[in-house]
């Protein structure tokens, strides 16, 4: 499974990239707003850090507007992927953009029917939102399992990005379910590095090392 980072914070992206674990970035309007910086400026900076798919989201609700925004964003860098919300207008935009060779990530997917439609329209990626389903008492992971199975049944090439990840277990279970990618907040990437037995192990090795006779 590939790991993307889910943030628009360039310091977090730079740090995670230095660990050698991420190969893409996803942003959304809320993540961009948190940075208090110009959208295009941030996206350009991200393309200088990570050499992989970088999702940037459109804000228009009509397909003509989405297509216009997408064409402009796609000019920024070859790695830009256009994030399009899962609506009928979004599907129309995906159809046109995929014919133009512009990659798309259909976002705000909450059912396998939505994922299937996005794939049929030509989406490069679909982003089912695990955590937000869990938040309303539904089983987000079951949605990932369903989409994996449906795409496998029909040899659909659209890649599944497990999104709205809240903790390391989401990443582990999404990997077990067969999601192609998980897009992970920096805080969760950090949590993934940790285990109490690792810390105890290091402490013990260092203590024992003090007993080794030194010349």
Residues that bind ligand E4P (CB under 6 A): 6, 26, 28, 107, 127, 129, 131-132, 163-164, 183
Structural element, H or E, at residue 3: strand 2-6
Annotated catalytic residue: which of 83, 92, 103, 207? 83
Nearer to ligand E4P, 9 or 107 (CB): 107
Q: How far apart are CA 82 and CA 125, in angstroms?
A: 10
Residue 83 is among the residues annotated as catalytic for this protein: yes
In 3-state terms, what secondary structure has residue 57? strand
Q: How many beta carbons lie within 10 A of that of residue 176, not counting itself?
A: 12
Phi, psi of 199 (to 5 degrees): -65, -45
Q: How far apart are CA 183 and CA 144, in angstroms?
A: 13
Nearer to ligand E4P, 34 or 195 (CB): 34
Nearer to ligand E4P, 144 or 204 (CB): 144
Q: How far apart are CA 64 and CA 93, in angstroms?
A: 7
Nearer to ligand E4P, 44 or 132 (CB): 132
CA dist 129 to 86, 101, 107, 144, 174, Å? 12, 25, 8, 9, 11
By annotation, the residues acting in catalysis are 83
């Amino acid at each position: 499974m590939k790991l993307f980072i889910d943030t628009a914070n360039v310091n977090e992206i730079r740090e995670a990239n230095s660990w050698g674990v991420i190969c893409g970035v996803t942003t959304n309007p809320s993540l961009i707003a948190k940075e208090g910086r110009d959208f295009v400026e941030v996206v350009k900076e991200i393309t200088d850090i990570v050499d992989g798919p970088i999702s940037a989201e459109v804000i228009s609700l009509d397909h003509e507007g989405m297509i216009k925004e997408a064409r402009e964003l796609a000019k920024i860098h070859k790695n830009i992927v256009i994030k399009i919300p899962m609506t009928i207008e979004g599907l129309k935009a995906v159809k046109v953009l995929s014919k133009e060779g512009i990659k798309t990530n259909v976002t705000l997917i909450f059912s396998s029917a939505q994922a299937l439609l996005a794939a049929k329209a030509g989406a490069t990626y679909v982003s089912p939102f695990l955590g937000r389903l869990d938040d309303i008492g539904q089983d987000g992971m079951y949605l990932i399992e369903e989409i994996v199975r449906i795409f496998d049944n029909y040899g659909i090439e659209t890649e599944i990005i497990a999104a709205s990840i809240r903790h390391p277990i989401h990443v582990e279970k999404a990997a077990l379910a067969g999601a192609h990618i998980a897009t992970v907040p920096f805080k969760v990437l950090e949590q993934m590095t940790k285990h109490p037995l690792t810390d105890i192990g290091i402490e013990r090795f260092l203590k024992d090392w003090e007993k080794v006779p030194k010349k």
